Structure 1
C-alpha cells in the first residue's frame, strides 16, 4: 500500500483525495492532510480524522510520497522537510522553482536522502517528448497561454486591464518563463514545468493572454531541436471551483500516484 500525505486542501488537493477514494484498483492510501486552517473545511469524519494544522502531527506519519498542492510558499516551507523525512515529493506548484536557490536546496536534499522530486504534467502535455528532446541540442521552446477573463481575477492582470470590459484578446505578458512563473504563481505553473523539462527558465519564451472569446484554458507549445519539431495545443476544462486551474491537474497527480503503485506504466 502506497502511503500518501497531502499538503493543502484547495481545489487540487480535494480533487486528488476524492480520486484516491474512488480508485477501484486501490493500492493508494491517504494517511494525513496538512492545512493552515482546519475550521475552513467541512469534510466527512473519515477525512476530518486525517486533517491537521500541526506540522508535527503530519510528519509523524510514515509517508512514501507527499503531494504538495498549496502554492509556492508551501514548497518553500515544507519541501526540504518532506525529503528529509524520507518521502518522495510531488510538486504541483512547480513555479516555485523559478527561485533558483530553492531548487538547488531541494535537489541537494533529495540527493542526500536518495529521494525523488516529481513534477507531474498537470495542466500541460508533451513533457515526455520535450524532456527526451532536451538530451540533444534544442533550439527553441515557446509557450502561449490563453485563459478566459474569469481565470485572472485575483491576479496581477486585474491591475493592468478591466477584465469585465475586454472585447478582444489582451496580451498580459511577453517574456521568459522565470518571470511568468513569479508573476502568475497560480496560473502559469505550466511555464515552469516546460522550462524544467526543456531548455530552462531563461530561454523558454512565454506569452500570456486574457481571451474573452474562449471558455477553456488553452496552452500552445512549440519546440524545435535535433529531435525534430513539436507543435501541441491543449484545451483544459477549468475547475468550477477555481477557474485558474483545470480538472486535469488532479487527474495528472492521480496518474503519477498510480504509476508508483503499479507494475505497468505507460507514458513516462
Structure 2
C-alpha cells in the first residue's frame, strides 16, 4: 500500500481525499492533508489527518505527495517533496511555464530517483500527444471556453465586465507559455498539453469567455507524422467553477495506476 499526502483542501483536495478514503483510488492510504489553518477546516475526515505545519507534514515520509493548492504550492513544495523521497503529482502544472522551475524540478527528480507526475486533469488525449511526440508533431492548438462565472477572481474580471458579456469573447490568443502565466488558475490544461507535446512556445492557445456554454470546454487539434487528432472535451465544473470534477478523478486514476497491477492510458 502506498502512502499519500495532499497539499490543499479546496474542491480538488476534498474530492481526491474522498476517492482515497472510499477505496476508489487504488491501494493507497491517505496519511495527511496540509492546510493553512487546521482549526478552520470543517470535514467528515478525522481531525488528525489535517496538518498546518509543513515540517510535521513532510516528516511523515509519504510515497506520493499530491499538490492541489495552486502554483505557489508547486514552487514551494515540489523540491521538498522530491528530496524527501516522495513522488510529486502536480495539479497546478501551469507553474512549469516558468522554465527555470521546470528544469530545476526535473533535475532534482533525476537526482533523487523520484518522479514528477503530470495528471491529465481537465484535459484528455495526452497519451496520444505524448506518443506522437516520439515522432514529429507539426502543430498543436488548444481552444478553451468557459462561462463567465469561471472567470471571477481572475485577471479577466479586471479587464472585462463579466455580467455584460452576451456573446463569446476571445481574451487571449498566443503561445501556451504566456497563457499559463496569465491565467494560473484556469489554463493548466495548456501547460499539460505543452509538456506532453511540442512545448510551451510552439503550442497555440485561444481562450474565450463564452456565455453560451455551461461547462468548461476544450478543443485540441494536432497533426504530424502520426496522423491527426481532433478532440472535444466538456467538463462539468466542480464547487470551484475554474476546474471540473474530472480533475480529481484524474488524480485518483493516477494513484490507482501507481498502486495496482493494471496500468491503463500511460
TM-score band, normalised by shorter chain: over 0.9
Q: d(CA) in 2 for partners of 1:99 and 1:222?
A: 24
For residues 78-127 of structure 1, give each alpha carbon's deviation from its aligned partner in whole angstroms, at most 9, with x where no partner exists: 10000000110000000000000001111111000000110000000000
**SS of 1:231's equivalent?**
strand
Query: 1:26–1:209: structure 2 CA closer, same or farther, 3 Å change rule?
Result: closer
Unaligned runs of 5+ in 2: none
1:210 matched to 2:192? The reply is no
| Deviation for aligned residue 1:165 | 1.0
Show the 5 A alignment for 1:36-51.
Answer: 36-44=36-44, 46=46, 48-51=47-50
Q: For residue 253 of structure 2, what is the aligned residue in structure 1?
A: 255
**SS of 2:185's equivalent?**
coil
Q: For residue 201 of structure 1, what is the aligned residue in structure 2?
A: 200
Q: For residue 235 of structure 2, what is the aligned residue in structure 1?
A: 236
| Deviation for aligned residue 1:26 | 5.3
| Deviation for aligned residue 1:44 | 3.1
**SS of 1:111's equivalent?**
helix
| Deviation for aligned residue 1:28 | 1.0
Q: d(CA) in 2 for partners of 1:43 and 1:223?
A: 43
Q: d(CA) in 2 for partners of 1:97 and 1:187?
A: 14
Show the 5 A alignment for 1:139-150.
Answer: 139-150=138-149
Q: For residue 90 of structure 1, what is the aligned residue in structure 2?
A: 89
Q: For residue 58 of structure 1, what is the aligned residue in structure 2?
A: 57
For residues 176-215 of structure 1, give each alpha carbon's deviation from its aligned partner in whole angstroms, at most 9, with x where no partner exists: 1001100111100000000000000001000000000110
Q: For residue 187 of structure 1, what is the aligned residue in structure 2?
A: 186
Decide whether the 8 Å contact of 2:25 with 2:252 is kept in 1. no
TM-score when scaled to structure 1?
0.97
| RMSD of aligned alpha carbons | 1.0
Q: d(CA) in 2 for partners of 1:111 and 1:28?
A: 24
| Deviation for aligned residue 1:62 | 2.1
Q: d(CA) in 2 for partners of 1:206 and 1:45?
A: 39
Show the 5 A alignment for 1:1-268.
Answer: 1-23=1-23, 27-44=27-44, 46=46, 48-239=47-238, 241-268=239-266
Query: 1:156–1:255: structure 2 CA closer, same or farther, 3 Å change rule?
Result: same
**SS of 1:154's equivalent?**
coil
| Deviation for aligned residue 1:25 | 7.7
- Which runs of 4 or more aligned residues in structure 1 lie more than 3 Å from their structure 2 counterparts after TM superposition? none
Unaligned runs of 5+ in 1: none
**SS of 1:30's equivalent?**
strand
